[in-house]
Amino acid sequence: MFTEETIERLRQIFDETMQQIDGELLEFGRQDDHVHLMVNCHPKLAISNLVEKLKGKSSHFLRQEFWPLLRKKLWGDHLWSRSYCVVT
């Protein structure tokens, strides 16, 4: 689903988002249809809020910047599925 260009932009968006919430993107990896992140954030930050920010912001910017490439590869009408996995 992701190209090298969209992956690099996605990494930038995640890094910027983590900095905005005083967190840090420690690791970033990808598979064909999903990504893996290791982040450091304040323990009082709700994980659901963090995931919402990362998915929402990345979806917004990737759709704006890469719509012709992404439109045929969406989950229905969504860039991200509703699910996520967190390990602490």
Q: Taking the mean position of all CA atoms in its chain, how far away is CA 31?
A: 13
Number of separate domains in the chain: 1
Q: Mention every residue, 6+ apart, whose C-beta is less than 8 A from residue 2.
A: 10, 30, 32
CATH (domain of 30): 3.30.70.1290
Mean confidence (pLDDT) of the chain: 91
* 18 in a structural domain: yes
Residue 81 belongs to a domain: no
pLDDT, greater one: 87 or 73: 87
Does some domain include residue 86? no
Dihedral in degrees, nearest 10, Cα atoms 56, 53, 47, 16? 130
Across residues 8-22, what is the average pLDDT? 97
Please give the share of the chain, as a percent, with pLDDT higher than 70. Answer: 98
Predicted structure pTM score: 0.89
Residue 14 within any structural domain of the chain: yes
